[in-house]
Amino acid sequence: MACAVNGCKNLKRFKPKGVTFYRFPTGSLLNEWLRVLDKGSKWQWTNKLICSEHFSQNDIIKTGVKTIYL
């Protein structure tokens, strides 16, 4: 699966070292992500991922050993 950001070539299957992938959030945060990505509300975001190259360290909140929310 490829990163959903236009022009990004990162693939989850062949991800570069240190790159992680994140699922789209739900609720009001989803609307913000779609706005930033310039995607319409009808865009199919389910089963899409965004790689960590598009986030700063300040964007990532670790809440558990394996759970990460953006």
Question: Which tens digits make up the pLDDT trace of 9-44?
Answer: 999 988 788 898 999 988 888 888 898 888 887 888
Residue range 40-67, pLDDT digits in tens: 878 888 889 999 999 888 887 776 655 4
SS3 68: strand
Q: Is the pTM of this model over 0.85?
A: no
Name residue 13's amino acid.
R
Give the residue from 57, 54, 33, 55 showing the smallest Cα distance to 43.
33
CA dihedral 3, 6, 25, 14 (to 10 degrees): 0
Q: Domain-by-domain residue ranges, the chain?
A: 1-40+51-70
